[in-house]
Chains A and B, each alone.
Chain A
């Protein structure tokens, strides 16, 4: 279809536009993750947007560039890290206050409706955001590259959600 570029990926127009919007999409995703307790959104929604940024990169620039930006091996590690952050918050409640998932970060009255106002929800959201963003990207990468074992990933973020419920 496009004879212009000898490299993989789509045409120059797509690549240029991707380069422009890429950063904003990522930033928007991070914003959604961080402000999840104040505005609509949260770890999952923000994580999906972060994953979309990487998926857009893969589509526009091809697998090689994308895997240079976010190496699948690193992504798999981050995947576990995100989940462990979430679990760590829950266990921290158990250690500090003897109650699983206890909110151990007190919120001063004056801080209401500001960024650091929701106790452990913020670290939870960050954990979820990392987890979802990375694992959705991994699902995409693995489904598009057939030879990699796929079975793992869909299930993982589900487990994270399971904890998220509480």
Chain B
């Protein structure tokens, strides 16, 4: 099944977040995880041999509804991409700042908070 590939992607991302020590790699893993979810959402609305969900003047409404791909997940994915863009920008900024302060990207060396 093609859906399982999405879960492989999500699992790879989750593995990266949990195991990796380098904060930049953690950020990349998070991005991979989000792409997995986005891909899953897109696949949910996909229809094999469907039309793109854009109407033009020539289109017949009932035929269009019968054949077109579900546009809602695409809108959702667009929104969630924008959100993950925001998170990504924030996290990259945090990484840069952390590097300024600690001089390293290694998360095991950032241990001021304990208890």
Could you tell me which A residues sit within 8 Å of B by CB distance? 39-40, 44, 112-113, 139, 142-143, 146, 150-151, 153-158, 161-162, 164-165
Q: Does B92 make an interface contact (CB < 8 A)?
A: yes
Q: Is A113 within 8 A of B57, CB to CB?
A: yes
Q: Is B79 within 8 A of A165, CB to CB?
A: yes
Binding site of A, secondary structure by majority: helix, strand, loop or mixed? Answer: helix
Could you tell me which B residues sit within 8 Å of A by CB distance? 52, 54, 56-57, 75, 78-79, 82-83, 85-90, 92-93, 96-97, 100
Across the A-B interface, the 3 shortest Cβ-Cβ residue pairs: A154-B89, A150-B93, A158-B86
Q: Is A161 within 8 A of B92, CB to CB?
A: no
Pick from A112, A113, A151, A158: contact of B82, CB under 8 Å: A158
A142 vs B97: C-alpha distance when bound (angstroms): 12
Q: Is A40 within 8 A of B86, CB to CB?
A: no
Least CB separation from B93: chain A residue: A150
A160 vs B101: C-alpha distance when bound (angstroms): 32
Q: Is B96 within 8 A of A157, CB to CB?
A: no
A80 vs B92: C-alpha distance when bound (angstroms): 23
Q: Is A154 within 8 A of B54, CB to CB?
A: no
Q: Is B89 within 8 A of A143, CB to CB?
A: yes
Q: Is A154 within 8 A of B79, CB to CB?
A: no
Q: Is A164 within 8 A of B79, CB to CB?
A: yes
CB B27 to nearest CB in A, in angstroms, measures 12
Known: A39-B54, A139-B89, A151-B90. A161 touches B96 (CB 8 A): no
Pick from B57, B88, B97: contact of A154, CB under 8 Å: B88
Least CB separation from A39: chain B residue: B54
Chain A residues with CB below 8 A from B100, complex form: 146
Q: Is A150 within 8 A of B96, CB to CB?
A: yes
Q: Is A44 within 8 A of B86, CB to CB?
A: no
Q: Is B79 within 8 A of A161, CB to CB?
A: yes
Q: Is B93 within 8 A of A151, CB to CB?
A: yes
Q: Is A161 within 8 A of B93, CB to CB?
A: no
Known: A143-B92, A154-B90. A161 touches B56 (CB 8 A): no
Known: A39-B54, A153-B89, A154-B90. A44 touches B96 (CB 8 A): no
